[in-house]
Amino acid sequence: MPLNKNVRCPLKKKIAAVKDYLKARQPLRDIARRHEISHSTLWHWIKRYQSRGRQGLVESKIQSRRLPREIETNVMRLKERHPEMTVRKARKMMKQAGIGISIYGIWRIWKDYGLIKNKRDDPLDVFIPLTSNLDRTINTARLYIEKEDYKQAAHILNCLPSMPKTQVLSRIPDRYLSPRRKLDRLCLERREGSYELFAARARRTSLMLERKGYLYSSIRADFYELDALDIIGQPDKKEEVLKKLSEKMRNIRNYPLRFLLWFEQTYTAVYQLKINRAIEYIEKCRRCVYLLPHPYYWELFGALLVLIGKFKNARGFYQKAVAKTSNHQISGRLILQMARYAHCYAGDYRKCRGMLARLKKENPDLTQGSAYNLTNAYLNFGNGDLTDAARHFVKSLETASRGKHTNRIYAASVGLAGISRALNQKKEARIYLRKYLPLIKKTRLLREELLLECFIDPHTVIPSEMRRISPFNLLNRLQQAHRTGKVGDYRKAFHFAEARGLAGLFHRWIVFFPESVTRLLEKGKKTGLPKTVLNFPVFNQRIPVYHLKLLGELRVTKNEKYLKPRLSPKEKSLLIHLALRAEAPGKFIALTLLGQNFWPKSLHMSILLSHLLVKIKAKLRMASHLLTVSSRGGEPKLINNGIYFTTDYAEFISLLTQARTLELSGEWHFSRREYLRAFALCRGEPFKKMYDGWSEDKRRGIINHLETETGRFARICMERGNKKIAAKLLNKIAGIIPGSPGINELQRLLK
C-alpha cells in the first residue's frame, strides 16, 4: 500500500500510533505500515510526544519550531522598515544582533505576516485563507464584540500575524485596531461607500503606517488611494501619490507591485497627454509581464495596449489569458474585451457578433452589464442599425457600475452625437458634443476633452506627442482630409485605419467629416466603406429622416424641415406606431398586430391599410416604395424599406437616463440640467384624441412615467433647497396631468 508522507491525521490516530509503538516494542516500519503512514512521520510524532506530550501532537511541525514572538516581531519589522530588504540581508543583520535564524525561518515569518508571496490574481489583497485555528480565534473575538467589549476583541485580532477576510473587523472602532489591522479593514472596504471618503481614509492610514514604521504596509494603502482617485477622476492628486509611491518602492524587487506601479503611472501619463512617458512605462511593464505568467497581468497589460490604440497586440494577451484562466467570469470579461477592441474596432462585425453570441450563451450575467451594451452599440452602428445603437448607448448608462459613470457618459454622448450626425442632424450632434465638455474639463479627462474639441472643431490641433496613439493619429488624418479635400488624404486615413485595426473606429468617426466621402460619391469613386455605412442619411440624401414630436400635439419634420400635414386621428396613430415599432430600414410590423388594433372586426384589413398608407405618404411627401406590405418569408408585414424615424419620446428616455447617471456620479448641477431638458420636451397630453387601443395604452404608460419622474425630481429639488424649480415644474406637469394625486400632494407640501 502506498504511503502518504504528508498525510493529515486526526489527533486520536496520532496518539494511537505513538502508543502502539511505545507499548508493542516492534520495529518502527512495521507499526507505520499498520497505521498506513510513513515511518519518518511516525518518528517525528514520537519525538514530539516524548518532548511535549499530547500538546506536541496538537501543534503542527512549523508551530513546534516557532520562534519567540519578540524575535518574530523584529524580523517582521525589518521588512516593514526596509521594503527592499532580502532574506539574506535580514539573516546577516539578525546574526550581527546575536540572533541565529535560517533563511527559511525569515521567509516563513514574512510570509505569515503577508509581506511576501502576494496573491497572483490580486497582489494588493492582504488576506490569508481561513484555517480552523483562525476560525476559533475570530469566533472568540466575535463573542467579545457581542458583549461590546471591543478592546478585548481588538487585542485578540491584533495579535494575529495576518487576517482572513472577515466582516468582524468592520464592527470594531478604528481606535482599538493596530496599524496592520487598520490596513486589513481598508482592504476589506475598498469597494464600498464613497470613493472620496475612502481616498481620504487611505491617505490617513498610509501616513499613520509610515509614522509607526510600517513602510511596506503603507505601500498597499497608497495603492488603495490610487484606485479611488482613479475612479473619481483626480489625476493631479494621483500624480502626487505616485511620486511618493515611486520613492518608497525605489529598490523593491517585488515584481507584482512594480508592475502595478508602472500600470498606474501609464494611465496617469496618458490622461495627462504625456504619451512619451507613458510608452516608457509600457515598455517596463512589457519586460515585467514575462516574469509574471498569470492571466491577471496579461489582462492588465492588454488594457495598457488598448489605451495607446494597439488593439491587435492586446488581442494576443487577452487570448493567452482566456486560455489559462478557469474562472468563467474572468474569461467572459476577456472575451468581451476582444469582441470590442479586437473585432468591433477593426470593423470585423461578423466575428464580434459571434463572440457576443458565445458570451450570451456561456456568461449570461455579463450581458446585463454596461460594457456589453456599449459593445453592442458599436456593433449596431457598424451594421447600420442606428436606432438599436442609440438604445444600447442609453442602456450602457443605465447599467454603468460605480466609478464608471463619467466614462460611460462620455462614450454615450460621443456615440449619440455620431448617430445624430449619421442621420444628418448637425444641430443635435453639436448639442451632444458640447453639453458634457464642461464636465470632462472639470474631471480633468484631458484625452477625452481633446477628442470632443476635435469633433466640434475640425481645425483643432492634435499635439505631435498624442499622434503616437493610433486613434489620435487616425483622427489627425481625418482632419487633414477634411481640411484639404484631397482624395489622397482620405485614402491615407482609410488605409491607416485598416492596417492598425481601426476600421470600425473609422466608420464611427467619418460621419463627423462627411465631406470627404460625399466628394468621392459625387465623382463615382469607391470609398471603401460598407454599404451599411454608405446608407446613412449623411451620405445618402435620398434616405429621409422624419422626426415626430408626440409628447403633446403631434408635430412632424422631414430632414429638419417642419411639415404641416393635416392627419386624421387614425393616420396620426399609425404614423406614431411606425415611428416607435419600425423606426429604421429593415424593421417591420406584422399585419395581424395592425389589424387587431385598427380594424379588429374588418375582413378587408389589407385594403384599408393600403388606403391609409397612401394618404400618409402623400401628406408626408414620402416615396411610395419606402413603406410596403409583403408576405415574403411567411406572415404578411408592413416593412420599412428606407426611412429613419426619430421621436422626442426616445429623446425623453435618453435624457432621463443621462440625468440619473449624472446624479449617481455626484454631478447634481449637470444632472438637474438634463432633467429639465427632458421635462421641457413635454408640451401637453400625448396621444390626445387617438382612440385605438395601442395609443391609449401608450398614453397611459407615458403619463405614468412622466408622473413618477416628475415626483422623484421634485422631491430631490426640495431636499436640496431648489423649491422654485420644483414648484415651476409641478405647475407645468399638473396642466398636462390634471387631477394627479402625487403631483397635487407635492404642490401642497411646497405651500
340-351 pLDDT, tens digit each: 999 999 999 999
CA distance 152 to 157: 9
Mean pLDDT of 180-197: 86
CA distance 316 to 312: 7
DSSP tally for the chain: helices H, then strands E: 39, 7
Q: Which residues pair with 122 in a beta bridge?
A: 119
* Sheet architecture: strand order including 637-640: 588-590, 637-640, 627-630
Q: Which residues pair with 82 in a beta bridge?
A: none
At 404, list the grid cell. 464608471
- Tell whether the model's pLDDT for residue 539 goes beyond 90: yes
Mean pLDDT of 705-717: 92
Residue whose C-alpha is closest to residue 143's, from 154, 157, 153: 153
CA distance 695 to 580: 11
CA distance 683 to 306: 45
| Contact of 684 with 553, CB cutoff 8 Å | yes
User: 696: helix, coil or strand?
Assistant: helix
At 420, list the grid cell. 445624430
Establish how many alpha carbons lie within 13 A of residue 80's alpha carbon, considering only the half-sphere containing its beta carbon: 20
CA distance 491 to 487: 6
pLDDT band at 655 (very low <50, low <70, confident <90, very high): very high
At 234, list the grid cell. 483626480
| Contact of 199 with 222, CB cutoff 8 Å | no
Contacts for 10 with CB less than 8 Å, ≥ 6 apart: none
**Dihedral, 739, 741, 745, 748 alpha carbons, nearest 10:** 20
Most confidently modeled of 88-102, 179-193, 439-453, 475-489?
A: 475-489
Length of the chain counted residue by residue? 751
Strands 644-647 and 545-549 turn out to be parallel
pLDDT band at 55 (very low <50, low <70, confident <90, very high): low
Contacts for 60 with CB less than 8 Å, ≥ 6 apart: none
Each domain of the chain, given as residue ranges in start order, spans 11-64, 69-112, 337-534, 548-751
Q: Pick the range with the lowest mean pLDDT from 249-253, 306-310, 631-635.
A: 631-635
At 548, list the grid cell. 415626430
CA distance 29 to 82: 48
| Contact of 694 with 589, CB cutoff 8 Å | no
Mean pLDDT of 706-730: 91
Q: Which has more pLDDT, 193 or 64?
A: 193
3-state DSSP percent of the chain in helix, strand and coil, to 5: 70, 5, 30
Backbone φ and ψ for 588, nearest 5 degrees, come out as -150, 165
Please report the pLDDT score of residue 620 as a whole number. Answer: 92
Which parts of 109-252 are beta strand (E)? Answer: none
- Tell whether the model's pLDDT for residue 196 goes beyond 90: no
Amino acid (1-letter code) at residue 586: G
Backbone φ and ψ for 561, nearest 5 degrees, come out as -115, 130
For 138, 148, 150, 177, the CA distances from 143, given in Å and listed in that order, are: 9, 9, 10, 17
- Cα 305 to chain centroid distance, Å, stands at 17
Please report the pLDDT score of residue 67 as a whole number. Answer: 67
Mean pLDDT of 11-36: 82
pLDDT band at 417 (very low <50, low <70, confident <90, very high): very high
Angle of helix 405-422 versus helix 648-664 axis, rounded to 10: 160
CA distance 3 to 486: 81
Backbone φ and ψ for 36, nearest 5 degrees, come out as 60, 45
Q: Pick the range with the lowest mean pLDDT from 68-82, 315-329, 478-492.
A: 68-82
CA distance 635 to 84: 74
CA distance 672 to 679: 11
| Contact of 726 with 750, CB cutoff 8 Å | yes
What does the pLDDT look like over 76-104, one tens digit per residue?
Answer: 889 989 988 888 998 898 888 888 888 88
DSSP letter, residue 122: B
Which parts of 293-342 are beta strand (E)? Answer: none
Please report the pLDDT score of residue 62 as a whole number. Answer: 45
Please report the pLDDT score of residue 63 as a whole number. Answer: 47
Share above pLDDT 70 across residues of the chain, in percent, rounded to a whole number: 97
Burial class (CB in 10 A: 0-12, 13-18, 19+), 732: middle
Contacts for 713 with CB less than 8 Å, ≥ 6 apart: 675, 679, 726, 729
At 455, list the grid cell. 469633433
Tell me the pLDDT of the chain averaged across its residues.
Answer: 88
pLDDT band at 66 (very low <50, low <70, confident <90, very high): low
Q: Pick the range with the lowest mean pLDDT from 224-238, 377-391, 439-453.
A: 224-238
CA distance 416 to 397: 12
pLDDT band at 58 (very low <50, low <70, confident <90, very high): low
| Contact of 654 with 595, CB cutoff 8 Å | no
At 630, list the grid cell. 409583403
Q: Between vectors from CA 511 to CA 508 and to CA 516, what angle results, nearest 5°?
A: 120
Mean pLDDT of 454-468: 92
Please report the pLDDT score of residue 1 as a whole number. Answer: 38
Amino acid (1-letter code) at residue 630: S
DSSP letter, residue 529: -
pLDDT band at 3 (very low <50, low <70, confident <90, very high): very low
Q: Pick the range with the lowest mean pLDDT from 11-20, 305-314, 376-385, 703-712.
A: 11-20
- Cα 175 to chain centroid distance, Å, stands at 35
For 287, 295, 402, 410, the CA distances from 314, given in Å and listed in that order, are: 15, 13, 25, 23
Q: Pick the range with the lowest mean pLDDT from 286-290, 440-444, 559-563, 577-581.
A: 440-444
- Cα 416 to chain centroid distance, Å, stands at 19
* Sheet architecture: strand order including 561-563: 561-563, 555-558, 545-549, 644-647
**Dihedral, 486, 491, 494, 499 alpha carbons, nearest 10:** -140
- Tell whether the model's pLDDT for residue 444 goes beyond 50: yes
CA distance 229 to 223: 10
Backbone φ and ψ for 610, nearest 5 degrees, come out as -60, -45
Residue indicated by cell numbers 402625487: 742
| Contact of 123 with 73, CB cutoff 8 Å | no
Please report the pLDDT score of residue 618 as a whole number. Answer: 92
HEC profile for 251-297? Answer: CCCCHHHHHHHHHHHHHHHHHCCCHHHHHHHHHHHHHHHCCCCCHHH
Contacts for 321 with CB less than 8 Å, ≥ 6 apart: 295, 298, 299, 302, 330, 334
| DSSP H/E element including 556 | strand 555-558
Mean pLDDT of 630-647: 87
Q: Which residues pair with 556 in a beta bridge?
A: 548, 563
